[in-house]
């Protein structure tokens, strides 16, 4: 009855993760439209500490200029790493590592360029047919995010983003189209990438331009509500098309811990953590949690909810919960008195003196992943999937195309060890995809030099280079990890 699990499951899904907007490129090929991510620029003349400012505060002027074909700004995500034309080579490299799965996203704008069309773009659908066929040829299971920071820009400029209820129907049409098209090629789906990150960057999450918004909190949560409804409707459609398919949610999970045993710090931690878990609470349980009323009252949020919304959400919760994990953060009720952590994923966290800090200010906490897995499994009792985990760093090429990324190996090794511990704790976790398995444009800073991959791409922050793919030391290391099913960590 009680059997201790000491190994990864035999069918554990090892792989890597990317996002269409960061690697595909070919933004002007195959009828693709502009997405919200195509608006981000990279300018080396801006001080490095401000590279991610636009990630948190999009302006009307920047959106307007991005639609000007004559703009001289550099938009890195329009170029990506040209996966569009190199997908066969890249997937072959994933297969050489032994990937069991590949977490990817669809560019909504390849299939519905503006988002509100009645009929899909066949060229876009055919491209993903080719990608899925290539993955199948190598025995790699696709895990597909429907929306990963790439909603059509037209839905922002003409409809106001997800605050407009009409976007639900546009999303469901998109989802139903791809469920039908790929029903024999895709088993695992994720409705929205890091849905809780609307808290930090609502423009790219729900299509709200933050600049001078009169009631940003109201807009964030109204947009999130419409995404909850859209997710439930998408799950309904998916189950009707392919009852065997599995549909999950995804949150960004930054484990929060009290800075001290002061009761005020403990309560502040609970309240801060709830602001992230709120989103998975709704999608995994199918209803708004009991703490919602107070949280909304304190934010002065009053949702517009249609009578049928609550029923569809309750009837169609997700099958599994996926999440990204990079770091933890300490929380204090009085952060102004303490040294803050400066990592670009951290919002208001306090520096934890017990943890090392990465090049980008992240507080590296492998044991926090074990804690996170236990917390989420205890809370939802649904299978878990680690959709993102990894270390961004500047890599140096030595003579002979040697890239000694031992720092990346160390980070990943320490986290994988903690996944195994969580499995022994009784957590049902069925897969792990490290983030950025091939170098690509950074989501938040739009640079190339912040690299996560096992595969180096010869391209600089301005998009210059041969785009040649080069294996790093971590490539062979991860290959051995997968071949041994997590037993040989080096």
Question: With contact defined as beta carbons under 8 Å apart, do 385 and 393 qualify?
Answer: no
Q: Using alpha carbons, list the distances in angstroms from residue 390 to 253, 393, 433, 441, 469.
A: 13, 10, 9, 15, 19
Report residue 236 CA to chain centroid gap: 23
The packing angle between helices 406-424 and 366-380, to 10°, is: 30
The one catalytic residue among 24, 150, 194, 421: 194
Confidence of residue 339 (pLDDT cuts 50, 70, 90): confident
**Alpha carbon 35 to its chain's center:** 16
Angle at 336 between CA 330 and CA 341, to 5 degrees: 40
Is 33 within 8 Å of 67 (Cβ atoms)?
no
If we measure between CA atoms, which residue out of 359, 460, 374 comes closest to residue 411? Answer: 359
Q: How far apart are CA 21 and CA 147, in angstroms?
A: 10
What string of DSSP letters covers 437-489? SB----TTT--SSSB--SEEE---TTS-S---EEE-HHHHHHHHHHHTTTS--
Catalytic residue among 24, 150, 388, 421: 388
- Could you identify the residue written with the tokens 């800073």? 445
Give per-residue pLDDT as tens, 94-108: 999 999 999 999 999
281 alpha-carbon distance from chain centroid: 18
DSSP collapsed to 3 states, 207-270 = CCCCCCCCCHHHHHHHHHHHHHHHHHHHHHHHHHHCCCCEEEEEEECCEEEECCCCHHHHHHHH
Q: What is the pLDDT confidence band of residue 1, given thresholds at 50, 70 and 90?
A: confident
272, two tokens: 């801060």
**pLDDT band at residue 228, thresholds of 50, 70 and 90?**
very high
Above 60 in pLDDT, residue 346?
no
Arithmetic mean of pLDDT, 197-204:
96
Q: What is the pLDDT of residue 303?
A: 98
Task: Clarify whether 388 is annotated catalytic.
Answer: yes
Q: Can you tell me whether residue 60 is helix, strand or coil?
A: helix
Q: What is the pLDDT of residue 374?
A: 98
pLDDT of amino acid 344:
47
Report d(CA 164, CA 160) in Å as an integer: 6
């Amino acid at each position: 009855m009680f059997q201790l699990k000491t190994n990864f499951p035999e069918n554990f899904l090892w792989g890597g993760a990317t996002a269409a907007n960061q690697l595909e490129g070919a933004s002007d090929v195959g009828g693709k439209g502009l997405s919200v991510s195509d608006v981000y620029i990279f300018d080396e003349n801006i001080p490095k500490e401000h590279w991610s400012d636009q990630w948190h505060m999009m302006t009307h002027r920047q959106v307007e200029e991005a639609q000007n074909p004559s703009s001289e700004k550099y938009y890195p995500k329009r170029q990506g790493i040209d996966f569009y034309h190199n997908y066969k080579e890249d997937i072959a490299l994933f297969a050489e590592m032994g990937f069991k799965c590949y977490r990817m996203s669809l560019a909504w704008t390849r299939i519905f360029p503006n988002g509100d069309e009645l009929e899909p773009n066949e060229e876009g659908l055919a491209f993903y047919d080719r990608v899925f066929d290539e993955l199948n040829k190598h025995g790699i299971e696709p895990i597909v995010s429907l929306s990963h920071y790439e909603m059509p820009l037209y839905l922002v400029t003409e409809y106001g983003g997800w605050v407009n209820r009409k976007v639900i129907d546009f999303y469901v049409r998109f989802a139903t189209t791809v469920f039908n098209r790929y029903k024999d090629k895709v088993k695992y789906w994720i409705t929205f990438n890091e849905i809780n990150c609307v808290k930090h960057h609502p423009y790219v999450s729900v299509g709200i331009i933050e600049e001078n918004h009169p009631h940003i909190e109201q807009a964030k949560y109204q947009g999130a509500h419409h995404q909850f409804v859209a997710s439930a409707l998408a799950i309904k459609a998916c189950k009707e098309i392919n009852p065997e398919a599995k549909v999950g949610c995804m949150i960004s999970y930054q484990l929060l811990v009290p800075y001290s045993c002061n009761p005020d710090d403990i309560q502040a931690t609970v309240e801060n953590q709830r602001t992230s878990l709120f989103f998975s609470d709704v999608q995994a349980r199918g209803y708004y949690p009991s703490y919602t009323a107070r949280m909304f009252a304190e934010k002065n949020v009053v949702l517009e909810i249609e009578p049928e919304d609550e029923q569809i959400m309750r009837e169609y919760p997700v099958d599994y919960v996926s999440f990204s994990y990079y770091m933890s953060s300490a929380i204090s009720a009085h952060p102004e008195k303490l040294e803050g952590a400066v990592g670009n994923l951290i919002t208001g966290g306090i520096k934890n003196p017990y943890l090392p800090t990465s090049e980008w200010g992240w507080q590296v906490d492998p044991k926090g992943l074990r804690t996170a897995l236990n917390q989420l499994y205890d809370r939802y009792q649904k299978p878990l999937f680690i959709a993102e985990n990894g270390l961004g760093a500047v890599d140096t090429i030595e003579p002979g195309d040697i890239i000694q990324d031992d720092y990346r190996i160390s980070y990943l090794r320490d986290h994988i060890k903690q996944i195994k511990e969580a499995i022994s704790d009784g957590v049902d976790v069925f897969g792990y995809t490290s983030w950025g398995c091939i170098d690509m444009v950074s989501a938040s800073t739009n640079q190339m030099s912040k690299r996560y991959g096992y595969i180096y791409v010869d391209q600089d922050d301005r998009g210059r280079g041969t785009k040649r793919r080069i294996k790093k030391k971590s490539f062979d290391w991860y290959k051995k990890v997968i071949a041994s099913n997590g037993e040989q960590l080096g």
